[in-house]
Structure 1
Amino acid sequence: MMTDNPHIQNLRELAEELLQKARGASSGRAAHSVYSGRYLKQALLTLTAGTTMAEHDSPPEATLQVLQGSVALSSAEESWDLRAGDIMTIPPERHSVQAHEDSAFLLIIRTDVS
């Protein structure tokens, strides 16, 4: 359902739009900032099947919520398989994300932590 309220975004529609972009990109991924405020940042990321976000540092406090598809979040010690509807606190260590299938996930980061 579309709305004229600029504060409302439809994540399903945005995920489909971003997945189309990811499918056409050589990197196999696309992202969009959903919200960026003083204390909170939200980004919608999409990865095509088999695409990996290389290992990177973890934000001080963040969650990953899978909206569509399934992904693996992996650290040096562990790996977690997440599917649509799952939400996970991202461990405070280097990690990577790999899509098992075309996937969309919401990254939520607390920004006031130093």
Structure 2
Amino acid sequence: MNKTAVGAALPSDVQAPHRGILQYVLSSATGNSIMCRMNKMSIEALSRELHDKAAATGKKVVSSTVFGGNEKSLRQTLVVLCAGAQMGEHDSPKEATIYVISGRILLETPPGSWHGRAGALLIMSPGRSTITATEDSVLLLSVAMASR
């Protein structure tokens, strides 16, 4: 399939300069084409924004869904945890991962506990889990949503 750009990367929101949208057309050899939307964002810029929000509000855990939601099969959430903050015990779905972007965390699950630091990908087992930041941390939590 050939890609033909029909739009430029544009900020989707004046308040969120870390986001951009590119629309393009996918054309097949048979001549069929469909309009597609590709999004991009700066995780670093969003991390800084969430750190600022945590500092301004005094919250120890601040997050933002960067992809997906109830209408998608995948949800990815950027989470900023201040040192000592905890994402209390919660149920983990069948498939979930935590990518530690910066900092250090402790993931506790019934089978055991794992330490993760910048660059670590933790594959979560289904069931109850708790995440504790042992230092200021940024995580990308990816969760496969239940089929509807």
Global fold match (TM > 0.5) = yes
Equivalent residue runs for 1:53-64 within 5 Å? 53-64=87-98
CA contact (8 A) 1:61 1:92 kept: yes
User: Residues 25 and 74 from structure 1, CA distance in 2 versus in 1: closer, same or farther, beyond 3 angstroms?
Assistant: farther
Query: 1:74-111: per-residue Cα shift (whole Å, max 9, x none)?
Result: 12341111001111111112010000111110011111
Higher relative contact order at CA 8 Å, sep ≥6: structure 1 or structure 2? Answer: 1
TM superposition shift of 1:8: 0.7
Q: Which residue of 1 aligns with 2:47?
A: 15
Normalised TM-score (structure 2): 0.69
2:59 aligned to 27, 34, 40, which one? 27
Query: Does structure 2 retain, via aligned residues, the 8 Å contact 1:23–1:29?
Result: no
Residue type of the partner of 2:138? Answer: A
Percent identical among aligned pairs is: 33
Does 1:88 pair with 2:134?
no
Comparing both structures, which one devotes a greater share of its residues to strand? 2
Max Rg structure: 2
Give the equivalent residue in structure 1 for 2:77: 43
RMSD value, Cα: 1.7
Gaps in structure 1 of 5+ consecutive residues: none
Corresponding residue pairs, total: 112
1:26 shift after superposition = 3.7
Post-superposition, which runs of at least 4 consecutive aligned residues in structure 1 deviate over 4 A? none
Q: Distance in 1 between matches of 2:84 and 2:103?
A: 12
How far does the alpha carbon of each residue in 1:15-64 deviate from its partner, in whole angstroms, 9 at most, with x for none? 12112222333431110010015211111011000011111111121100
TM-score (norm 1): 0.88
State the partner residue of 2:24.
none
Counterparts of 1:100 and 1:25, CA distance in 2: 21
